[in-house]
Amino acid sequence: MNVSDVTELIELAIGEAAVSQIYAGSKSYDVICRFDEESRNSPEKIGNLSLTSASGAKIPLSQVCDIRMTTGASTITREMNKRHLTVRANLRGADLTGFLNQANKLIGQQVTYNRDTIRLKWTGQFENQSRAYSRLGTIVPLALGVMLLLLFGACGKFRQAALMMSVVPLALFEEMLALNVRGMTLNVSSAVGFIALIGVAIQNGVIMLSQITNSCYAINYPLFIMACIVDIPVFNEAI
């Protein structure tokens, strides 16, 4: 009797083992076999499983190993020849970056472990979000700068171009307010929505300024009526 006999019985009885294959055209499928539930639903029944020695004698599994129920890892995975344990979480209604910062703070305050032998590493969707934020942080200011130059070239006056670009902070404030009202968090999708809103806001500013510039109304015309008049092209464009 050797160790391989015991492991083969445990694999076949408790786990599962491929005993054959079925071919369907160019594809092959393993035929999986293991003992029925009644034969393996308790330590006692598992211990009664029989091993066959080289002489043909039947030996209960409980005579060659200690079988008991305990709590532990279902599988032991390794990374770089070191044990690796994964704790997974799916967030709902929470910001990834905010959750990560809060979790690191709580772990530092409440969890004690040997940092020389245990290494804690965070990985997941937040890494993609961090990379996206990093790229957007470079691309968006560059795009706004190019947009300012284009508006200056179209208007011929830096004052008018700056006036059109002044709607950007207001648009960002409005979207942040809308996110807070809806109870939503800042993520990559909402950041893309910020960019779209900035484009629409600047477009509306261009239309309104063009309407004011080309309007025949005097500057001292009633402000409310003037605003309604210059908003007509904006409404038409939106429709």
pLDDT tens string 167-197: 888 888 887 888 788 777 777 777 888 888 8
Closest C-alpha to 129, from 172, 171, 87, 98: 98
Q: So what's the pLDDT on residue 128? A: 81
What is residue 188's predicted lDDT score, i.e. its pLDDT?
76
At 236, is the pLDDT very low, low, confident or very high (cuts 50, 70, 90)? low
How far apart, in whole angstroms, are the C-alpha atoms of residue 202 and residue 196?
Answer: 10
Reference 96, options 179, 193, 186, 195; nearest CA is 186
Domains of the chain in start order, with CATH, are: 3-70 (3.30.2090.10), 128-238 (no CATH)
Token pair of 94 as six digits: 């929470």
Which helix (H) or strand (E) segment is 224 a member of? Answer: helix 223-238
More confident residue, 235 or 71: 71
Question: Residue 75, Cα to own-chain centre: how many angstroms?
Answer: 25
Instruction: Kindly report, residue by residue over 191-218, the tens digit of the pLDDT.
Output: 888 888 888 888 877 777 777 676 655 4
Confidence (pLDDT) at 221: 58
Model pLDDT for residues 7-59, shown as the tens digit of each residue: 888 887 777 778 888 998 888 888 888 888 887 778 888 888 888 887 878 88
pLDDT, tens digit, for every residue of 151-165?
888 878 888 888 888
What's the confidence (pLDDT) of residue 143? 85
Average pLDDT over the chain reads 78
Q: How far, in Å, CA of 47 to CA of 36, rounded?
A: 15
Q: What is the pLDDT of residue 227?
A: 60
Q: What pLDDT is attached to residue 203?
A: 80
